[in-house]
Amino acid sequence: MDITSVIIAILTLTAGIGVFLVACQTMSNNLESAGSRGLRRLFARTGDNKWLGVGIGLAGTAAIQSSGAVTVMVIGFVNVGIMSLTQAATIIYGSNIGTTVTAQLVALGMFGRNSISTTIIFAAFAGIGAFISLFAKRDKWKQTGGILTGFGMLFVGLSMMSSAMEDFAALPEVKTMLASINNAVLLVFIGALLTAIIQSSSVMTSIAITMVVTGLVNLDQGIYLTMGSNIGSCVVAIIAGMTSGTNAKRTALIHLIFNVMGVTLFLVLALILRLSSGGAWSFGSLFGRWFPNAPQMQLAMFHTFFNVCTMFVALPLTNILVNTACRIVPEGANDKEHGPRLKYLDPTMLSTPAVALRQLKTEIENMAKVAITNFHRSIHIITTMDYAEIEEFRDDEKQLNFLNKELLRYSVTLSENNLNSYDQCYLSGTIRTVSDLERVGDYAENIVEYADSLKEQSAAFSQEAIGEIKQMEKLVDNLYNEVMQAYHHKDIEALKRANVIEESIDGLTEVMERNHIRRLTEGTCSPAVGAEYLSLAQNSERVADHLINVGNTKKDLLRLI
């Protein structure tokens, strides 16, 4: 083989890897978008049951074909405090098993090489999917087309990689060089390094499978390269963890310790197997006997066996792994600081839009709670002149201003992803919702300023006026409850009840204005105090208007269900 053929083989291999990576991303994005609601419900079920965590990690990774995305998402959950380190660890165990699905698909696609191979049959799905995506009108069919396109492209890339490997296998120099690399630790290191560079254990495992099938390396070498890919896959999690909080760093460390522990265990077992049999037995010889004449299946099945066994070993040791990570990464000073922050969202979640959307909704509901709490505080202050909670009020006002900016930025970034029409509609409504909730906080701040004015004048409202204010507060609170019921559950009946309450608030505002004029005429209320009272009534009505706006954003979504 001349130098031109070698260059062509290298370029073909590079192109195959590129197509395979794009295929993984395409299939992952469309699977995630198509199953976004199911994926949100799945990760909402995390609990203290370790087996449940393993199952969620396995199902989530198998569903979106990306262990890296699942791990980064878990790091985001841990970072915002809605998932414990123990829960995160068990999901990572399951994710490692789920990622073996890709290797099984690759192995399946390499049968029938002497006739019409399954690789060619599966690759044809790329064209079928492209036609569906091109002519489909509905999101569901477009996503289906995207999934088929990605699935087919996997095998297009695989075919290109396999062709390049066959060319390399024809070079005696290359085969001799690779055959000389028998050191298991060195092979693990090479597998880890290559995986860290391409940031995809699925691609590295697929390369190893094609190398074994074409005879470029033997099965034992392929096994060690695959084991190394598990360690290399931790790079994505480490990068995500380094830019986040202490618990996120601990999660990334648990992922690394878990994979290193599994590789170390199997290296020791391989050594014991070889020494006890006088060199006759190895993992390669065992899986070669169990799956004869199918080298692709031999390596794929080892990959699954390796990750399942590692999970069974690690599961009882989870608490020890968590404690070890906590000792290595101690509590940081930044974790003790207080101030405006996102409670349920983390930048790492943007890599998994389906889950980021669910967390965005939770964060908005929390923002609404902060806003209505400050409204109640403002009413308490102006009716009692009790400023005991003024610092909490100011802190929450800062939090609302912070959330307004951050959630708008987060929503814009999230909208740049390939989302279905329902999720895009939700994000459009989110921008208005966040602004409405921030305005609720502003009106609460206005009411406190009216209290400050009364305090400077050593004045106060009459008991009759306070009674009307309390009535208004109760109606606004009822409105808030119905609006959040409509917002959280897409409950159209709750929205109808909210609109009825909003009309009652409009009516009460008019009553308060008439009673204010009467009190002025009777001399029971001074003009200065009356001005603050009227402003308070009008601000409360505007709070109700903004809350009803939040509920009304669900109308467009209900049409898409």
Is 152 in contact with 128 (CB distance < 8 Å)? Answer: yes
In order of 130, 207, 484, 554, 556, the CA distances from 487 in angstroms are 37, 48, 5, 6, 12
Q: In the predicted model, what is the mean pLDDT of the chain?
A: 85
Q: Which residue has the higher pLDDT, 470 or 10?
A: 470
Query: Could you tell me which of 359, 426, 372 has the C-alpha nearest to residue 546?
Result: 372
Cα-based torsion angle of the residue sequence 364, 370, 375, 380 in order, rounded to the nearest 10 degrees = 160
For residues 341-353, give the mean pLDDT.
Answer: 81
Q: Give me the phi and psi of 2, to 5 degrees please.
A: -80, 175
Report the percentage of the chain scoring pLDDT > 90. Answer: 41
Q: Which helix (H) or strand (E) holds 350?
A: none
Q: What is the pLDDT of residue 561?
A: 46
For residue 516, what are the contacts with CB-CB under 8 A and spacing of at least 6? 465, 525, 530, 533, 534, 537
For residues 204-219, give the mean pLDDT.
Answer: 88
Burial of 48 from C-beta contacts in 10 A (0-12 / 13-18 / 19+): exposed
Residue 70 CB-half CA count within 13 A: 34
Question: What is the length of the chain?
Answer: 561
Look at the pTM and tell me if it is higher than 0.75: no
d(CA 363, CA 358) in angstroms, rounded, equals 9
DSSP-assigned letters across all residues of 373-402: HHHHHHHHHHHH---TTHHHHHHHHHHHHH
In the chain, the domains with their CATH numbers are 3-328 (no CATH), 347-560 (1.20.58.220)
Query: Could you tell me which of 84, 33, 39 has the C-alpha nearest to residue 60?
Result: 39
pLDDT digits (tens, 9 = 90+) for 42-86: 666 666 688 988 988 888 787 666 777 788 778 878 877 778 889
d(CA 140, CA 421) in angstroms, rounded, equals 10
Residue 254 CB-half CA count within 13 A: 36
Query: Which residue bears the tokens 């995305």?
Result: 69
pLDDT digits (tens, 9 = 90+) for 527-554: 778 889 999 999 999 999 999 999 888 7
Two tokens, residue 384: 């009692």
For residues 338-356, give the mean pLDDT.
Answer: 79
pLDDT of 321 over the 80 cut: yes
d(CA 311, CA 333) in angstroms, rounded, equals 33
Q: What share of the chain is helix, strand, coil (3-state, %, to 5)?
A: 85, 0, 15
d(CA 551, CA 486) in angstroms, rounded, equals 6
For residues 430-445, give the mean pLDDT.
Answer: 94
Alpha carbon 42 to chain centroid, angstroms: 12
DSSP-assigned letters across all residues of 19-45: HHHHHHHHHHHHHHHHTHHHHHHHHTT
Q: Please tell me the least confidently modeled range out of 102-116, 132-146, 319-333.
A: 102-116
pLDDT digits (tens, 9 = 90+) for 168-179: 777 777 777 877
Q: What is the pLDDT of residue 400?
A: 96
Q: What is the pLDDT of residue 241?
A: 76
Q: What is the pLDDT of residue 333?
A: 47
Q: What is the pLDDT of residue 38?
A: 60
Sequence letter at residue 17? I
Two tokens, residue 399: 């939090």
In order of 21, 148, 203, 244, the CA distances from 198 in angstroms are 9, 24, 8, 23
Q: What is the pLDDT of residue 302?
A: 95
Q: What is the pLDDT of residue 553?
A: 82
Two tokens, residue 528: 């200065």
Q: What is the pLDDT of residue 540?
A: 96
Query: Which residue bears the tokens 């709490």?
Result: 373
For residues 404-430, give the mean pLDDT.
Answer: 85
Query: Could you tell me which of 478, 502, 508 has the C-alpha nearest to residue 552?
Result: 502
Two tokens, residue 307: 């990750």
Q: What is the pLDDT of residue 117?
A: 60
Q: Give me the phi and psi of 57, to 5 degrees please.
A: -65, -40
Two tokens, residue 208: 């190893």
pLDDT confidence tier of residue 39, bands split at 50, 70 and 90: low
Is 432 in contact with 365 (CB distance < 8 Å)? Answer: no
